[in-house]
């Protein structure tokens, strides 16, 4: 949900601004500011990566599971909780107020309150977690201040709207993590026992990952529609033939390992670069300048359409081929297991389905595998 955080913040902040009567161009700017703040809580992953490198020197295993085991001790626990988010919004408000020259009699009260919040959060982390966490949260607050300073000087947005945008981006961030493995403690550093309930879209780990990917793509589409509607841009590029390359990505299911939430890097590092490269190619060939918002929107739409087609083709190819393979194996026409891990796993599920539907034992090893059942999006447990 890395991109989903920023886009969700963009859509919500833009909508709030439009409802409040802000003109459309300014509302888009406010939404983009919220998106910038929405990415900040995840920057602590860089510190987590450094911690993991030191941990590997002390004998920690090398791998994604081991990395997240170390990273989750810092990632989300320090930068994601709501008290930290509210304090971050106050920091952005204070900095923007001072820089914009809109200080008034209440500004000292705001500054004192913000400083007190920073001290309270830092001391609480020091006492409850340790010096490491306190240092991370201080660095995080400094980062928010720097971003707030830059955005307030580079835009014509008022300090109040900077605060609103920062609040939206920072506060809604942890709620996007309900789809991930470890939702953050909401009220740290004061309480570490209140968590959001993790949402699992499927008991099958691979199907769950694909479903979450589809949710994130849907969120990005909402963001694109919001931007195009307010900027009066054209989405005609989504029908450009360039996006057809996404239909070929489904073939990767016969080559790549089956991804899960804990081991999704090969999936993410192939499907996303393909979409980005397609958008860049479209811009390079068909757009002569990048001075218009429409040009940028066209490239984003091409990339997003390619990404959507890639996911759809992957699901369709694997489902159709595994169903065909399972039918032949269930009928006794094929005795050999498919080489692809994806196809083997999904073929097992389809063979099990056929056995259940026709109340007949499978004729080979594929139909005798205990598994979670997958069939055209229907997920159930084997009785």
User: Distance between CA 92 and CA 171 in Å, rounded?
Assistant: 13
Q: Which residues contact 70 (CB under 8 A, 6 or more apart)?
A: 48, 51, 52, 55, 60
**Residue that wins the pLDDT comparison between 259 and 278:** 278
Q: What is the pLDDT of residues 313-360, one digit of tens each?
A: 988 888 887 777 777 766 667 666 565 656 666 666 666 665 665 554
Provide long-range contacts, Cβ within 8 A and 24+ apart, for 362-366: 362/329, 362/330, 363/329, 363/330, 363/331, 363/332, 364/329, 364/330, 364/332, 364/334, 364/335, 365/337, 366/326, 366/329, 366/330, 366/337
367 has pLDDT over 50:
no
Q: What is the pTM of this model?
A: 0.82
Q: Which residues share a beta bridge with 205?
A: none
- pLDDT tens per residue across span 202-224: 877 888 888 899 999 999 999 99
Reported as a single tens digit per residue, the pLDDT across 137-174 is: 999 999 999 999 999 999 989 999 999 999 999 999 99
pLDDT of amino acid 353? 61
- Amino acid 34: pLDDT: 97
pLDDT at 368: 42
Q: What is the pLDDT of residues 106-122, one digit of tens each?
A: 889 999 999 999 999 99
């Amino acid at each position: 949900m890395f991109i989903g955080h920023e886009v969700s913040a963009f859509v919500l902040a833009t909508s709030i601004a439009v409802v409040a009567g802000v003109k459309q161009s300014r509302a888009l700017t406010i939404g983009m500011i919220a998106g910038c703040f929405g990415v900040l809580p995840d920057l602590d992953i860089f510190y987590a990566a450094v911690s993991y490198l030191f941990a590997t020197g002390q004998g920690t295993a090398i791998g994604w599971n081991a990395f997240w085991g170390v990273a989750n001790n810092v990632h989300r626990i320090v930068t994601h909780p709501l008290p930290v988010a509210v304090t971050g919004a106050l920091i952005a408000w204070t900095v923007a107020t001072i820089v914009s020259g809109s200080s008034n009699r209440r500004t000292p009260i705001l500054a004192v309150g913000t400083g007190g919040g920073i001290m309270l959060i830092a001391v609480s982390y020091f006492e409850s977690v340790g010096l490491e966490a306190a240092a991370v949260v201080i660095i995080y607050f400094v980062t928010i201040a720097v971003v707030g300073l830059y955005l307030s000087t580079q835009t014509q947005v008022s300090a109040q709207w900077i605060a609103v945008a920062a609040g939206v981006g920072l506060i809604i961030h942890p709620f996007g993590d309900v789809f991930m493995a470890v939702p953050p403690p909401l009220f740290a550093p004061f309480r570490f026992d209140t968590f959001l309930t993790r949402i699992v879209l499927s008991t099958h780990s691979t199907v769950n990952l694909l479903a979450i990917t589809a949710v994130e793509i849907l969120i990005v589409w909402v963001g694109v529609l919001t931007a195009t509607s307010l900027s009066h841009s054209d989405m005609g590029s989504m029908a450009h033939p360039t996006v057809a390359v996404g239909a070929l990505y489904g073939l990767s299911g016969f080559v790549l390992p089956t991804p899960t939430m804990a081991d999704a890097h090969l999936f993410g590092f192939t499907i996303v670069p393909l979409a980005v490269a397609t958008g860049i190619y479209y811009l390079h060939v068909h757009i002569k300048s990048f001075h218009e918002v429409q040009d940028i929107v066209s490239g984003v739409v091409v990339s997003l359409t390619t990404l959507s087609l890639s996911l759809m083709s992957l699901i369709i190819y694997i489902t159709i081929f595994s169903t065909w393979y399972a039918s032949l194996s269930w009928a006794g026409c094929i005795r050999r297991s498919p080489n692809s891990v994806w196809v083997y796993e999904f073929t097992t599920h389809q063979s099990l389905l056929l056995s259940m539907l026709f109340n007949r034992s499978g004729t080979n090893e594929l139909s005798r595998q205990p598994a979670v059942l997958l069939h055209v999006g229907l997920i159930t447990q084997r009785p």
